[in-house]
Structure formats: structure tokens, C-alpha cells
């Protein structure tokens, strides 16, 4: 089981938090802070596993994270998940985001948290891995976006579309997340 998925930036600002168990908002923030604390002080070239996610459920749990450019992607998982598999999943997640946002960067996540959630929902559901095939994830995510678009055009031409306005991309010249990524590490691909 995946207990939580957190994305935060180099300063610990949350960009996405998905908890698959209920915590109060305060606890959630505390978990994010502590996780950031644990993860951020690690060097780039050390292993991506951390034991003792004390706040989330005990010794069975591990933090598995990856650092992409300005963002940390952290998965808190228990022992039923394969460590390398999860690392792979994070990579799939980021690559999917990259496809969906075209050269994804932190700004995309900042302004489109809902969209990121929707993409994530196609990969992980209720803490279990739902789909790992990137093209399938993208197909489903895009089909839903299309539906959304058509609904909005048909019924709400009055208003500005909800989440599809492209935010001003002035800060867009930052490198995408994947550009700075160390050589992809994907042991479970065959």
C-alpha cells in the first residue's frame, strides 16, 4: 500500500499532497514538514529510501523519493510495495506529467494542482497502484480533459474555463523537471 504521496519543492512548499489515510490538516502539514526535513538534507547521490516515516504508521513504512530539478516526489509506502518498483512509478508519474504538460516544470504543478491530481488518480487509487502503463494513463487523462472541455464549451461559454486557461508562462523558461533529471533509473522496465 502507498500511504501518502507528497510533492514539495526545494523549500518545502507543498505542491501536491495525497494521503490515503485520514489525518487532520495539522497533522498533514506536520508530516509534510517532517518529510521535507528528512528528505531535503540528503545528498543527491545517496539512496532514495528512508526509513522511519515516524508520523505515518510505524516501522513497516518507508519513504521513497526522487528529486527532480526543483521538486521532491515522495511516496510513503509499506513493505508490500517493491522499492524499486515505486522508484519506477515515480519516474512514470513524472514522465506522464511531462507529456501532459509538455515539458513540465514546477509552475505547471503550482497552477494545476487539480490536473495533477487527476493524472495521479489514473495511476494510484486508494493507495494501490492502478496503472503503470504511461500511454494508457495519458489516454484516459486526455479523454477526460476532452470531455471537460466539451462540457465547458457547450454550457459555460459565458465564463472563463475553469482549469484550462494556460497560466501566464512568463516564468516558463525554467528548465523542465525532466531536463535536470539524472540518468533515468528504471530497473523494472523490460
Partner 1 sequence: MALKIVKGSIDRMFDKNLQDLVRGIRNHKEDEAKYISTCIDEIKQELKQDNIAVKANAVCKLTYLQMLGYDVSWAAFNIVEVMSSSKFTYKRIGYLAASQCFHEGTDVIMLTTNQIRKDLSSPNQYDTGVALTGLSCFVTPDLARDLANDIMTLMSHTKPYIRKKAVLIMYKVFLKYPESLRPAFPRLKEKLEDPDPGVQSAAVNVICELARRNPKNYLSLAPLFFKLMTSSTNNWVLIKIIKLFGALTPLEPRLGKKLIEPLTNLIHSTSAMSLLYECVNTVIAVLISLSSGMPNHSASIQLCVQKLRILIEDSDQNLKYLGLLAMSKILKTHPKSVQSHKDLILQCLDDKDESIRLRALDLLYGMVSKKNLMEIVKKLMLHVDKAEGTTYRDELLTKIIDICSQSNYQYITNFEWYISILVELTRLEGTRHGHLIASQMLDVAIRVKAIRAFAVAQMATLLDNAHLLTGNTQRNGICEVLYAAAWICGEFAEHLEDPMLTLEAMLRPKVATLPGHIQAVYVQNAAKLFATVLQKHEGETDSQAAQETSQLLIDRLPLFVQSANLEVQERASCILQLVKYIQKLQQKNVEVAEEVTALFAGELNPVAPKAQKKVPIPEGLDLDAWINEPPSESESEDEKPKAVFAKEEPKHSRSRHTEVDEKELARRREARKQEQANNPFYIKASPSSQKVYDAPGVEHIPVVQIDLSVPLKVPGMPMSDQYVKLEEERRQKEKADKKKKEKKKKREKRGKGRKGDSGPESEEDITPAHHVDIVTEEMPENALPSDDDDKDPNDPHKALDIDLDKPLADSEKLPVRTHRPEVLKSPAEDRDDNTIPQETKKKSSKDKKEKKKDKEKDRKRSKEDKKKKKKHKDVEEELPESLPEEVVQSEETKEVAVPPTSADVVTVSSSAAAATVDSSSAAAAESEPEELKDTEPDDTKSSKHKKKKQKKEKEEKEKKKKKRHHHHHHHHSDAGAEDSVQNGTVEDEEPLPPMSNYSLLAENSYIKMVCDIQGNHQDESKVVVSVIFENKSDSFLKSMEFNVLDSLNSKLQRPDGAGPHDGLTVPFQLPPGVSNEARFVFSVQSIVMPQKLKGTLTFIVKTDESSTHEKLDFKLHFTCTSYLITTPCYSDAYAKLLESGDLKGSSLRLEGVNMPFHHLLARICFHHHFSVVERIDSCASMYSRSIQGHHVCLLVKSSDQTVSIDAKCDEPSLLGNVLDEIKQTFSKC
- Which helix (DSSP H) or strand (DSSP E) does residue 155 occupy? helix 134-155
Distance CA 167, CA 118 (A): 18
Distance CA 71, CA 140 (A): 25
Q: Per CB under 8 A, which of residues 110..169 are in contact with partner 1?
A: 110-111, 113-114, 117-118, 121, 125-133, 136, 140, 143-144, 147-148, 151-152, 155-156, 158-160, 162-163, 165, 167
The answer to whether residue 108 forms part of the interface with partner 1 (CB under 8 A) is no
Residue 69 backbone class (left: φ over 0; alpha: ψ -120 to 50; beta: rest) = left
The answer to whether residue 25 forms part of the interface with partner 1 (CB under 8 A) is yes
Distance CA 174, CA 172 (A): 5
Q: Which residues bind partner 1 (CB under 8 A)?
A: 1, 14, 16-18, 20, 22, 24-26, 28-29, 43, 45-51, 80, 82-85, 87-88, 110-111, 113-114, 117-118, 121, 125-133, 136, 140, 143-144, 147-148, 151-152, 155-156, 158-160, 162-163, 165, 167, 185, 187-190
Amino acid at each position: 500500500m502507498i500511504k501518502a504521496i507528497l510533492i514539495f519543492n526545494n523549500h518545502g512548499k507543498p505542491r501536491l499532497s495525497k494521503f490515503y489515510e485520514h489525518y487532520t490538516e495539522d497533522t498533514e502539514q506536520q508530516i509534510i514538514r517532517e518529510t521535507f526535513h528528512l528528505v531535503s538534507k540528503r545528498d543527491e547521490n545517496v539512496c532514495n529510501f528512508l526509513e522511519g516515516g515516524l508520523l505515518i504508521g510505524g516501522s513497516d513504512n518507508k519513504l521513497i523519493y526522487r528529486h527532480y530539478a526543483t521538486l521532491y516526489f515522495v511516496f510513503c509506502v509499506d513493505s508490500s510495495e517493491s522499492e524499486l518498483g515505486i522508484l519506477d512509478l515515480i519516474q512514470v508519474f513524472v514522465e506522464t506529467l511531462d507529456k501532459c504538460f509538455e515539458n513540465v516544470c514546477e509552475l505547471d504543478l503550482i497552477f494545476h494542482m487539480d490536473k495533477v491530481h487527476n493524472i495521479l488518480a489514473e495511476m494510484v487509487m486508494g493507495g494501490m497502484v492502478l496503472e503503470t502503463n504511461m500511454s494508457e494513463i495519458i489516454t484516459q487523462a486526455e479523454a477526460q480533459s476532452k470531455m471537460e472541455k466539451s462540457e465547458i464549451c457547450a454550457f459555460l461559454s459565458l465564463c472563463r474555463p475553469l482549469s484550462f486557461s494556460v497560466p501566464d508562462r512568463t516564468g516558463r523558461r525554467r528548465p523542465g523537471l525532466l531536463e535536470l533529471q539524472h540518468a533515468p533509473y528504471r530497473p523494472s522496465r523490460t
